[in-house]
Chain A
Amino acid sequence: MGDISYLLPLLFVGVGAVVLMLLSYTKSLSISSIAKIALGFLVLAFISNVYYFGELHKVYPYENVFFGMIVSDTYSVYFNSILLVGAIATILIGWDYFRPDRRFTGEFFSLLLFSTFGMMLLVQSAELLSAFIALEIASLSLYVMIGFQTDNIRRVEASYRYLVLGSLSGVLFLFGTALIYASTKTTFLGNIGVELLPQTGKDISLAIGGATLILITFLFKISAFPFQNWTIDVYDGSPLPVSAYMASTFKVAVFAFMLRFVAMDLGYIKDYWDGLLMGVIILTLAYGTFLALAQNNLKRMLASSSIVHTGYLLIAFVSIDIIGESASSSIIYYLIAYFLSAMGAFGLISYISSSDKLRLTYEDFKGFSHVRPYMSAMLSIFMLSLAGLPGTIGFIGKFYIFSGAIEAGYTVLATSAILATFISIYYYFKLIALMYFYPSPILSNVPPLKGLPPIFIGFIAIAVLWGGIGNTFIAFFPSIDFLIDVAKLSHRSLFLQ
């Protein structure tokens, strides 16, 4: 197979988005059949992506057309799989949520595919401006997805906030790119790093400024400390499946690009950031924990706790120049762990609330286990995994990150992260305690486990458990070590020539 096989996943998603946009113009197709078509395109893309999964390679497809701006390596294949699973999961958990009477139409799925396309392009871009364009494709579609239910003013407001702040951070990225271009005459990843080496004897202060501006965009998009205020309001104002999509996949894509950029080019500049990033991490952990403790609404609690998880991820990010391979593989692994747990939690809550319009608070879950025992069990599994209890995938993810931080000498960071984990047990276990230790249920009109979404959420719950215990109990079954090995392989593929 030629170069086209490396671009097939991107092509399927992109073509699918355009086809869906044309199809949604004809009103004869129902929304569920359009969802099925979208699912079909995503599955095709996933299959063509998995073909290269775990194979060490680095290819610049059609170099005479794209001039090496798009790359396909083990790293991008790995992240594309996560993103595609995220998009498929969003459609599946929202199967009952995306209904015409909620003002969802076929265009919504087209936007979802466009946004996935943008994220995949972001993961595959090997050049700063194409990364910016990919980022904007992903964000612009997300803005519209958030504000899709135009009759609800909260959605419009959330969309507006995200648009204004998102475009501001996008412009900072561009300005940073311009400064790096002025300083090094190139915007290609890999070449920038060569120009920045101290041996060239250049004045690189412009490039340091530019890289710092790009770092600010990155911190904004993953909602780290000084730029976290939008997160709770935007997540809270969006439809639940869209919040799940944002929390899990968008963060993955942005992390993927920044990891590539820092690992390939900014090893030298990163020394200037260490003090800054340590402050950011401690404040992110502290402030996120504080916010999560203060929330009573479940959706807002999950949004605030996603800030804390950003803090954990950044710890591994800091130690990347000291223990490169194991740090980046622990980031990749933790992203999968968080992706599964958050997708499951958001998905289940959206399923519970899809029957009526209530906003779920802690009190609503009092005695929930007596009405819906299986749902409570699944919700408990996701909470345990988010808190990082042994036996779940969240524990293994946290274990790699904390031990990596200690190995790299950042004991202060590891200690504060462990403290944050301790406190996080309060707000995660509060839900479990309320579900099991109250006699009379409050929520009574919850739909029973029926249809596609609960089956899928059940699969996610099994995956969360399998990630925690699978490798010790089930022999001859592909264990979680496989994912770690491929993560290490993808890190190595960044430096292939």
Chain B
Amino acid sequence: MIGLEHYLVLTGILFSIGIVGVIRRTNLLMLFFSTEILLNAVNIGFAAVSKYYGDLNGQIFSFFIIAIAASEVAVGLGLLVLWYKKEGTIDLTSLQMMKG
């Protein structure tokens, strides 16, 4: 029987994958994918808790989180395009000019 703990563990695993992705990836597009994984991990958690308690609020939260994730990506991709036009690359290592 799959219970709440399993879902929360899945959330934790996905969350860890996302965190590792944000830390390790140098491609900016991949970095955004990792952020999306993080947000969707939380979505699973909310939906599972909501089902467990029979309380609809958690599922509504997921909808809001999806909307926020979309708007975050909209801003991020806009910046990405701008960055690519200027630098010709979307690699994080090109983002070092502000040192010092």
Contacts and interface: CB of A to CB of B under 8 A. Distances in A.
Interface residues of B, number: 38
A209 to B, nearest CB: 10
Contacts of A143: 75, 79
Interface string A130-164: 00110010001001100100100110111111011
A233 B82 contact: no
Given A136-B68, A175-B11, 8 more contacts: A153-B86, A153-B87, A159-B79, A164-B76, A177-B61, A182-B8, A182-B45, A182-B49
Interface of A: 129, 132-133, 136, 140, 143-144, 147, 150, 153-154, 156-161, 163-164, 167-168, 170-171, 174-175, 177-179, 181-182, 185, 187, 233, 236-237
22 contacts: A140-B71, A140-B72, A140-B75, A143-B79, A156-B86, A157-B95, A157-B97, A157-B98, A158-B98, A160-B95, A164-B76, A167-B35, A168-B22, A170-B72, A171-B35, A174-B42, A175-B15, A175-B38, A175-B41, A175-B42, A178-B46, A182-B4
The CB with the most chain B CB atoms within 10 A, among A159, A164, A178, A233, is that of: A178
A156 B82 contact: yes
Contacts of B8: 182
A131 to B, nearest CB: 12
A140 B71 CA distance: 8
Contacts of A182: 4, 8, 45, 49, 52
A373 to B, nearest CB: 34
Nearest to B50: A181
Interface string B57-85: 11001001100100110011001001100
Given A161-B95, A175-B15, A185 B79 contact: no
Contact of A133 (B4, B11, B68, B98): B68
A168 B35 contact: yes
Given A133-B68, A143-B75, A175 B98 contact: no
Contacts of B82: 147, 150, 156
Determine which residue in A133, A154, A161 has the highest number of CB atoms from chain B within 10 A of its CB, and name it.
A133
Contacts of B49: 178, 181-182
B55 to A, nearest CB: 6
Contact of B64 (A129, A161, A175): A129
Contacts of A132: 68
A171 B75 contact: no
Given A140-B71, A144-B75, A156 B61 contact: no
B65 A174 contact: yes
Main secondary structure, interface of B, reads: helix
A181 B46 contact: yes
Given A136-B68, A157-B97, A164-B31, A178 B45 contact: yes
Contacts of A160: 28, 79, 83, 95
A175 to B, nearest CB: 5
Contacts of B42: 171, 174-175, 178
Contact of A129 (B18, B53, B61, B83): B61
A185 B76 contact: no
Interface of B: 4, 8, 11, 15, 18-19, 22, 28, 31, 35, 38-39, 41-42, 45-46, 49, 52-53, 55, 57-58, 61, 64-65, 68, 71-72, 75-76, 79, 82-83, 86-87, 95, 97-98
B81 to A, nearest CB: 10
A132 B39 CA distance: 13
Contacts of B15: 175
Contacts of B61: 129, 177, 181, 187
A153 B58 contact: no
A469 B4 CA distance: 60
A161 B95 CA distance: 9
Contact of B22 (A153, A164, A178, A187): A164
Nearest to A180: B49
Contacts of A163: 72, 75-76, 79
A158 B82 CA distance: 13
Contacts of A140: 71-72, 75
B71 to A, nearest CB: 6
Contacts of B18: 171
A123 to B, nearest CB: 19
A153 B46 CA distance: 39
Nearest 3 pairs of A and B residues by beta carbon? A178-B45, A171-B38, A182-B49
A160 B79 CA distance: 7
A160 B87 CA distance: 14
B50 to A, nearest CB: 8
A182 B97 CA distance: 43
Contacts of B65: 174
Contacts of A153: 86-87, 97
Nearest to B87: A153
Nearest to B68: A136
A154 B64 contact: no
Contacts of B72: 136, 140, 163, 167, 170
A185 B53 contact: yes
A49 B35 CA distance: 37
Contacts of A185: 53, 55
